[in-house]
Structure 1
Amino acid sequence: MPSVWDHKLWDTFNPQLYNFTKYNQDFLKQYSDFLERRGKIEEKYAKDLRKLCKEFRTKEYDKKEKIKFSVQTSFDEMLAELVSSANQHDTLRDELLKSSKEVKDALREAQRQSQQTEKKVAGLVKDLERNRNQLEGVRSQYQRSFVEMKKAREDYIANKDNKDITKNEEERFQQVFLHKQSMFEERKQSYAKELSDYNTAQSRHYMEHLPEQLATLEEQEKRVAAICKQHFQLWGDSELQALNIRTKCCQTLRQKADNVNAEYDINEFMRVTASGNPVPDDVVFEDLGSNDSISQQQQQQQAAAPGKKNKFGTLNKKSAPAQQKRRLVEQLKQKDEELEKATKGLDAMHKLLQTYQQNPKLGDIAMVQQQMQQASEQVETLNRERVDILKELQALGVDTSNMGGAAPVATTAAAPPPVQAVSGSQNTSSASAFADEFADESPVSPAQPQPVATSAGAAGPPQAPPVPPPPSAVAAPALPIVAMLYDFNDPSQSDNLAVVAGERLYVLSGDADWTLVQRTAGNTDEQGYVPTAYMGDV
């Protein structure tokens, strides 16, 4: 593409063009600083916004029950969306800082190129100035030789016909004139050659060398403009992208507002607050002068025990059914955790005992057996307590079929009892699943508790107690089964399990993204992770 500036700025490029170049470079620095400060503003805004959302998180109405009503829940969800919006400000900050760095790099490159070009132009101007000075020197000699020749010719003409001088003097004037005339011709030729060389150099300077450097500066200015245009567009795109995502967050905020449900809040408050006690009856008039009244009063006091009597009637100290259910489920969770911990401890002691029996030098077998006896008794006690809690829940009308139960525990006088306990993790999750069903008052037939069988130890000399089976050897509750909807084979992770559509699998654990499963056919010991979204009900 031909240069616009070309040789048209031969006499105005310095200092105007240099000032223009510096002006644009100063703008690049200014724009880079602007992007950096703009990014810091976004960073501070995002930080303050997240801090504000954290500070105004709503508190639970009932910490024990972890209850929040729809108003508070909706507000918390809106705060979460606001945090997502704040994250977009961080993304915008990253884009702005990245653009600022690129502009600074472009500025340094432009400054380097402009300095090189200015040095080349300065060298060309200096060469032309040196040629001009040399021409002026030759021209001065040429002019001086002309003046000397002219004076020598005038002296020769004036003395040529003078009768008062001798012939030798006349010849001397003639020789001086001829010498000066010869020198003049030499200076004339030198000046003509020097002038031709200078004109050639000057023409090349203004028509070739200088336009070439000016074209370089012109291309540099075009690159500066292109850089500004590119980063202006990136800035606008980054703002627009962040704005689009923030707009979606704002739309979600509006949707969360629709989740406020006054009826739900009222019913939920009643569920966790109502005692379930009947409204006190009318206060009966007491005729203190009648024997029948005194006898009736005593009977009422006995029937109301262990309640508390006041002038408005008698209130029962026993908790309301809904409150009893919540308390019992909480106790069941705690009991399951203790049972799981005790079962794992018993399993570990069983393995330790086997190790000591293989190599008695490693430790005291009798002490481990004593500890196993205590651990077995603890597991048995926890199982009985858990059965008692389940009985109470059944009496309150709670369906405990999915909460598991305690297996029979056989004890002997000579050995630690093998304990068959329900998995603590399963019990915990089952109890949690029923925590929200307190309001269900439908009658349920209580399940009969599991019997506890005991047998007396046989008489005879004392001997080392036999090794009890590990708790892990007891049959576990049936695991849920799912069917794969799609094929899955991702060898990038060693713990992934390759499955095919239609294959049935046991579910061990998982979350909303990945689920740990086990094969139901073939190599049933093979376990691994599959995407939760790929699974369906059988």
Structure 2
Amino acid sequence: MNWGTELWDQYENLAAHTHKGIEFLDKYGNFVKERCAIELEYAGKLRRLVKNYQPKRKEEDEYQYTPCKAFRQLLQELGDFAGQREVVAENLQSNVVRELHLLAKELREERKQHLNEGARQTAILNAAIGALERARRTYERAARESERALEAFQRADADLNLSRAEVEKQKANMKLRSQASEDAKQEYTDQLRKTNEAQRQHYEQRLPHVFKQLQDLDEKRIKNIKNFMLSSVDVERKVFPIIMQCLEGMEQAANNINEKEDTQLVIDRYKSGFVPPEDFQFEPAAGGDTTDSSTNHHHHHNHLTAARGTVSGNRIKKRGGLLSIFSSNKKIVEACNSIKNNMSTDGKEDYSDLPPNQKKKKLQAKVHELTKQVAQEQAAMEGLMKMKGVYETNPTLGDPMTVEGQLNECCDKLKKLRTQLRKFEELLADANSQVSATTLHTLPARANGAPPAPATSIGSNSESLSRSASESSVSTGTGAGGTGGGVGSGGVTAGGRTAGGSPESGLGGELAVAHADHTNGDGDHDHDHDNDHESDFDYYYEPDLQPLGYCMALYAFEANGTGSTMRMECGERLLVLETDAGDGWTRVRRRHTREEGFVPTTYIATTLYADARDH
């Protein structure tokens, strides 16, 4: 199938065909370009949709329920899905549109060169044909003149009246014309041979070579269109695994919806701790039997006394018909309204304006927060004392007096925190005694009188229950006078990012180990107690943190076994939940298992979504 032999006389058609072929290549390129624009527009609209449906600050409380948490996770997965559509557009642009544009330009230039060469060869052949035509006409003219000279000689030779000289003249002219005719014939013959040779060369070699180049060019165009289509499919196929992960994430989010859990959450969130009012008693009409009236009045007085501290508060009120129903329940209504208004976070410091159950939960959270602060200050103090000891042993490292002021400040702060902690522990003990025996979850008292360390409350931005449980030996204090285990400035942050045993630990790792040894001696009974019982706050948890970006592991990292760090493989891709807070650690999540933990910041290359959008 060679164009040069099969289509030797179709020069014009082949020129037109190759031109249309390159135009079709341009058409396909425009199609892919418009497809890229559609993908980018689709991704942009998806991202705007995700942004528009992100929970507002005033909606954060509602997003503690499992359908809302699932919807938030679905939005996150949809955002990742939109990112994959952007990847499709970018790869189509670089792998197809750009390469196709360069190919079309190259093919146009090659086609122009081949057609020019074909035109040049055709001009050479036409020149040879023109020379042959001129030689033929010259030969015909010389032959006619030779024939006329021969006839003139024959007439002169037959005419007896002409002189010999005239006859010889005609004879000489005849011979001259005859020789000229022979020369023209020879030239014509030579040119005929040359022209035929040129024609054979043209149609057997030169023109077929040009046509073969045009054929190769057209086949190259067709083959590349095939490759571009396959490349487009491959671009789409490569994002399918991540798109499937997004869909699996949406499916997992839906499967995490739990109606029983939400039902319990509503109870925990709105339960006041009050008991329902008792039955109304018969009140005799005025002027009736004084004995019955006295008896009934005494019984009614006892009923109100029994209700003291529940519905009617600390004052005894006398019911007065239907109006008294609303009066006796006024505190319940007010309490429920206060729960709706951000759980009375702007109320009194001791939460005395809250219903019993909500008051107990607020006090538990306050005790937990103060316990962590005491533990952090204690650890910081121990770190400063150790540093002072090091300076005293080796003055070349520093002046011990430089940390004296910090020690005094830390000590004062620790005393204030412990005083506050004792105050709120006493308030919590009182609140526990006030909670009705009908409460769903009864809190057992600690052996030393302190409540168990509560889990994270609703709307908190601190660590989730899983991390709190795994780090109970570090983050839980020992009550009013005990020492905590969460190292603060001495090497471990308040969030529980343990530095001990990690590549960047330094002095902080030693402080963490020393402090762990210090707390193991007097805190075991608290830890055992925590493991045996659950507080009401075990039902409250932190919503999943939204990823801030993603990172790539530059090196492998092994977790140190404390529960806060997370193992990662070299080259592994992880989601970034919290950026480095200055302690050398970054909080990440593994996409498939949802495992979370901290990894060294220097071990990863991080790309934040905000930075990616800026570029």
How many angstroms does 1:90 deviate by?
A: 2.4
Is 1:86 the equivalent of 2:159?
no
Q: Secondary structure at the match of 2:137?
A: helix
2:358 matched residue in structure 1: 323
CA 1:166–1:325 in structure 2 vs 1: closer, same or farther (change >3 Å)?
A: farther
Amino acid at match of 1:78: L
1:374 matched residue in structure 2: 409
Is 1:405 the equivalent of 2:401?
no
Out of 192, 200, 204, which is 2:201 matched to? 204
Is 1:313 the equivalent of 2:328?
yes
Question: Within 5 Å, which residues of 2 pair with 1:189-228?
Answer: 189-228=186-225
Contact 2:380 2:487 in 1 (8 A): no
Q: Secondary structure at the match of 2:6?
A: coil
Contact 1:43 1:90 in 2 (8 A): yes
Q: Which runs of 4+ in 1 moved over 6 A?
A: 286-292, 352-360, 425-430, 492-495, 531-534
Contact 2:372 2:477 in 1 (8 A): no
Is 1:55 the equivalent of 2:118?
no
RMSD over equivalenced CA pairs, Å: 4.6
CA 1:331–1:286 in structure 2 vs 1: closer, same or farther (change >3 Å)?
A: farther
CA 1:137–1:307 in structure 2 vs 1: closer, same or farther (change >3 Å)?
A: farther
1 CA distance for matches of 2:493 and 2:5?
91
CA 1:126–1:393 in structure 2 vs 1: closer, same or farther (change >3 Å)?
A: farther
CA 1:348–1:477 in structure 2 vs 1: closer, same or farther (change >3 Å)?
A: closer
How many angstroms does 1:263 deviate by?
A: 3.4
Question: Within 5 Å, which residues of 2 pair with 1:284-323?
Answer: 285=283, 296=301, 300=305, 304=309, 307=314, 311=324, 312-313=327-328, 315=331, 319-323=354-358
1 CA distance for matches of 2:148 and 2:232?
80
CA 1:340–1:46 in structure 2 vs 1: closer, same or farther (change >3 Å)?
A: farther
How many angstroms does 1:132 deviate by?
A: 1.7
Give the alignment's TM-score, normalised by structure 2: 0.61
How many angstroms does 1:202 deviate by?
A: 0.5
Contact 1:328 1:393 in 2 (8 A): yes
Structure 2 unmatched ranges of 5 or more: 318-323, 333-351, 433-442, 445-450, 454-471, 497-510, 525-552, 570-584, 596-615
Once the two structures are superposed, residues 98-145 of structure 1 have per-residue CA deviations (whole angstroms, 9 ceiling, x without a partner) of 222232233233223322222221221121122122222322322222
2:349 matched residue in structure 1: none
Amino acid at match of 1:112: E
1:20 matched residue in structure 2: 17
Percent identity of equivalent pairs: 19
Amino acid at match of 2:452: T
2:70 matched residue in structure 1: 74
How many angstroms does 1:61 deviate by?
A: 8.0
2 CA distance for matches of 1:301 and 1:279?
12
Q: Secondary structure at the match of 1:423?
A: coil
2:335 matched residue in structure 1: none
2:486 matched residue in structure 1: 423
Contact 1:387 1:405 in 2 (8 A): no
Q: Secondary structure at the match of 2:562?
A: strand
CA 1:298–1:177 in structure 2 vs 1: closer, same or farther (change >3 Å)?
A: closer
Is 1:154 the equivalent of 2:157?
no
1 CA distance for matches of 2:375 and 2:165?
145
Question: Within 5 Å, which residues of 2 pair with 1:470-481?
Answer: 474=515, 475-478=517-520
Amino acid at match of 1:4: N
Q: Secondary structure at the match of 1:10?
A: coil
CA 1:333–1:297 in structure 2 vs 1: closer, same or farther (change >3 Å)?
A: closer
How many angstroms does 1:205 deviate by?
A: 0.8
How many angstroms does 1:22 deviate by?
A: 0.7
Question: Within 5 Å, which residues of 2 pair with 1:209-288?
Answer: 209-239=206-236, 246=243, 249-250=246-247, 253=250, 256-282=253-279, 285=283
2:96 matched residue in structure 1: 99
Once the two structures are superposed, residues 436-472 of structure 1 have per-residue CA deviations (whole angstroms, 9 ceiling, x without a partner) of xxxxxxxxxxxxxxxxxxxxxxxxxxxxxxxxxx999
Amino acid at match of 1:209: R
Contact 1:61 1:67 in 2 (8 A): no
2 CA distance for matches of 1:222 and 1:427?
67
Contact 2:376 2:494 in 1 (8 A): no
Amino acid at match of 2:216: E
How many angstroms does 1:368 deviate by?
A: 6.1
- Indicate the larger mover: 287-296 or 372-381: 287-296
1 CA distance for matches of 2:10 and 2:307?
117
1:36 matched residue in structure 2: 33
1:10 matched residue in structure 2: 8
- Indicate the larger mover: 245-254 or 282-291: 282-291
2:115 matched residue in structure 1: 118
1:510 matched residue in structure 2: 565
1 CA distance for matches of 2:556 and 2:241?
38
How many angstroms does 1:405 deviate by?
A: 1.4
Contact 2:36 2:89 in 1 (8 A): yes
Give the alignment's TM-score, normalised by structure 1: 0.68
2:541 matched residue in structure 1: none
1 CA distance for matches of 2:477 and 2:493?
6
1 CA distance for matches of 2:562 and 2:265?
33
CA 1:184–1:71 in structure 2 vs 1: closer, same or farther (change >3 Å)?
A: same
Once the two structures are superposed, residues 2-61 of structure 1 have per-residue CA deviations (whole angstroms, 9 ceiling, x without a partner) of x33232322222x21011001111111111111111012111101211221221234588
Contact 2:8 2:207 in 1 (8 A): yes
Is 1:184 the equivalent of 2:181?
yes
1:517 matched residue in structure 2: none
Once the two structures are superposed, residues 374-408 of structure 1 have per-residue CA deviations (whole angstroms, 9 ceiling, x without a partner) of 33111222134334445555663265275321585
Contact 2:4 2:212 in 1 (8 A): yes
Contact 1:283 1:313 in 2 (8 A): no
CA 1:471–1:16 in structure 2 vs 1: closer, same or farther (change >3 Å)?
A: closer
Contact 1:353 1:368 in 2 (8 A): no
CA 1:300–1:8 in structure 2 vs 1: closer, same or farther (change >3 Å)?
A: closer
Contact 1:272 1:322 in 2 (8 A): no
2 CA distance for matches of 1:242 and 1:211?
47
Once the two structures are superposed, residues 283-332 of structure 1 have per-residue CA deviations (whole angstroms, 9 ceiling, x without a partner) of 56599999976995999599559647773427486534442343134324
Larger radius of gyration: 1
1 CA distance for matches of 2:200 and 2:233?
48
CA 1:301–1:199 in structure 2 vs 1: closer, same or farther (change >3 Å)?
A: same
CA 1:370–1:188 in structure 2 vs 1: closer, same or farther (change >3 Å)?
A: closer
The number of equivalent residue pairs is 449
Amino acid at match of 1:9: L
How many angstroms does 1:67 deviate by?
A: 5.0
How many angstroms does 1:256 deviate by?
A: 4.3
Contact 1:92 1:242 in 2 (8 A): yes
Structure 1 unmatched ranges of 5 or more: 410-419, 431-469, 481-491, 500-504, 515-527
Amino acid at match of 1:113: E
